[in-house]
């Protein structure tokens, strides 16, 4: 994160109608690098061709009554979501206490799955130790300070599927403030004219994908379909793929299951975010739990007498690290063939977030708090306006899949922040041109 006192410096310019304006330099920026993070190396997992919800469940099945994996990747109904991770931790802890009859448990990882497991065991009176590689709790959900006490989440941020979200219930119970985002009503723009009917485009793509075998890749499904479209329809389809598939799943088409991208739940069910950050939930869950930071687990062994985790003895081990990091840990006897098969049908994906704070809000305001930028090739496509919730002029831009390599990796934080501000200026210019066109008698196209 960079905090700059040079509030009056500017760079780049953009036009709104007939007015040319300078793009303000952010006074604070935070550039997330989950793909480069030693203890993450990715953001979440998507279903690879042949992947299914049943395989996710299989990965979470206990082994020998001693070892169990619990993570967002093992949840068949809320995969890749914080409450999905938390629920898996609770599931594993309940199994350890009531089925395995464990009196002592070692939990590996202090993200939401680990905190869910540990807090449940704490409440059940089971002895529990949490070993966490980082120097903080939270894992891929991490709140950062943007100055003046303003907080934002650099990783996971939303409480999705609100009506059935267990973390949402905790937020309500603990009086934690939330702000709604309507992902169904984005302010959408493109640099080269009207975006097109993205809802119709993605609906048509869904029909094509679900008609294919379960082991088909998204690329296989789309190649012949896209080739038959008119140029305008193909452009709308590509924008729909960029926004609804790539950003939602974080991977290019050849890595994804044609069925999986439509069979797993996503955003759009009364989603809400926490202006005070996810850290509020994490700290409450961690109360009274023995969490040992800076401990990267290297060795897990188990037998009839119990489990040894880097020398820590217990009856059961609950492992909550990102599942794609499992091969880095020595395990004996190790994963079963079914577990390895399930793991092979998941693909780790990367979505990076950049948070920018400015002196004032200069970008277009959206009632939903959600903006989308359909440039080609795709870059910083998804934007969340954090201003109303935090009281500070702030936005978070997201980039995913192949675009991460093109526009994010290999650049300094300052260079990335500059690139993000320029993309936001492009969105502002495009929206401004639309407004100007309507003012002089043109038609304002709404995506």
CA distance linking residue 327 with residue 324, whole number of Å: 7
Pair 151, 389: CB distance under 8 Å: no
The pLDDT value given to residue 21: 61
Q: In terms of DSSP H, where are the helices of 36-81?
A: 53-59
Distance CA 282, CA 110 (A): 9
Residue 124 is inside which H or E element, if any?
helix 112-124
List the chain domain ranges: 47-141+278-345, 198-263
Distance CA 306, CA 159 (A): 37
Alpha-carbon span 316 to 98, nearest angstrom: 12
Cα(416)–Cα(437) distance, rounded to whole angstroms? 32
Q: Which two tokens stand for residue 423?
A: 């993309």
Q: Given this model, what pLDDT does residue 235 score?
A: 92
Largest alpha-carbon pair distance within the chain?
Answer: 80
Strands 370-373 and 187-189: parallel
- CATH architecture of residue range(s) 47-141+278-345: 3-Layer(bba) Sandwich (3.50)
pLDDT for 434: 58
* Cβ–Cβ < 8 Å for 78, 328: no
Tokens found for residue 173:
């119970």
Element (H, E) at 231: helix 231-240
**pLDDT score of 265:** 79
Q: Is 372 helix (H, G, I), strand (E, B) or coil?
A: strand
- Which two three-digit tokens encode residue 121? 């065991």
DSSP 72: G
Compute CA distances 447 → 200, 227, 436, whole Å: 11, 23, 17
User: Using only C-alpha atoms, what is the Rg of the chain?
Assistant: 23
> Mean pLDDT in each 10-residue stretch from start to end of the chain (447 residues)?
35 42 87 97 93 95 98 96 97 98 98 98 98 98 95 95 96 96 90 89 89 82 89 91 86 81 80 96 98 98 97 98 98 98 95 96 91 93 94 96 92 95 93 58 44
What pLDDT shows up at residue 433? 67
Residue among 389, 398, 390, 392 nearest 424 (CA): 398
Query: Alpha carbon of 129 to those of 296, 298, 305, 326, 382: distances in Å?
Result: 14, 16, 18, 20, 39
**Residue 160: its pLDDT value, please?**
93
How much is the pLDDT for 5? 32
pLDDT in the model for residue 212: 81
Beta bridge partners, 124, equal: none
């Amino acid at each position: 994160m960079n905090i700059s006192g040079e509030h009056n410096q500017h760079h780049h310019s953009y036009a709104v109608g007939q007015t040319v304006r300078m793009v303000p330099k952010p006074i604070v920026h935070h550039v997330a690098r989950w793909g480069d993070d030693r203890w993450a190396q990715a953001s979440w997992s998507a279903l690879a061709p042949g992947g299914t919800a049943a395989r996710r469940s299989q990965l979470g099945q206990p082994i020998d009554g001693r070892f169990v994996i619990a993570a967002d990747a093992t949840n068949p109904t809320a995969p890749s979501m914080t409450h999905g991770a938390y629920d898996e931790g609770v599931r594993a802890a309940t199994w350890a206490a009531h089925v395995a009859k464990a009196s002592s448990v070692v939990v590996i990882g202090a993200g939401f799955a680990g905190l869910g497991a540990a807090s449940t065991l704490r409440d059940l009176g089971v002895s529990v130790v949490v070993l966490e590689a980082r120097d903080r709790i939270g894992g891929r959900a991490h709140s950062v300070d943007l100055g003046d006490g303003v907080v934002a989440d650099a990783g996971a941020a939303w409480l999705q599927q609100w009506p059935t979200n267990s973390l949402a219930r905790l937020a309500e119970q603990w009086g934690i403030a939330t702000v709604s985002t309507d992902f169904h009503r984005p302010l959408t723009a493109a640099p080269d004219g009207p975006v097109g009917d993205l809802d119709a485009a993605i609906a048509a793509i869904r029909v094509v994908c679900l008609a294919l075998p379960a082991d088909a890749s998204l690329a296989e499904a789309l190649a012949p379909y896209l080739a038959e479209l008119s140029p305008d329809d193909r452009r709308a389809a590509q924008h729909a793929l960029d926004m609804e598939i790539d950003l939602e799943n974080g991977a290019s088409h050849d890595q994804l299951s044609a069925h999986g991208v439509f069979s797993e739940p996503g955003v759009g069910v009364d989603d809400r975010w926490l202006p005070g950050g996810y850290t509020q939930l994490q700290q409450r869950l961690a109360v009274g739990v023995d969490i040992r930071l800076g401990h990267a687990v290297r060795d897990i062994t188990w037998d009839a007498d119990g489990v040894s985790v880097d020398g820590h003895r217990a009856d059961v081990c609950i492992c909550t690290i990102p599942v794609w990091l499992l091969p880095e840990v020595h395990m004996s006897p190790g994963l079963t063939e079914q577990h390895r098969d399930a793991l092979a049908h998941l693909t780790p994906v990367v979505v990076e977030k950049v948070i920018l704070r400015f002196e004032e809000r200069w970008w277009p305001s959206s009632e939903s708090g959600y903006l989308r930028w359909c440039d080609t090739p795709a870059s910083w496509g998804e934007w969340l306006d954090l201003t109303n919730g935090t009281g500070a002029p702030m936005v978070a831009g997201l980039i995913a899949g192949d675009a991460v390599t093109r526009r994010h990796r290999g650049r300094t934080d300052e260079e990335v922040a500059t690139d993000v501000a320029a993309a936001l200026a492009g969105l502002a210019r495009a929206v401004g041109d639309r407004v100007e066109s309507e003012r002089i008698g043109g038609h304002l196209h709404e995506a």
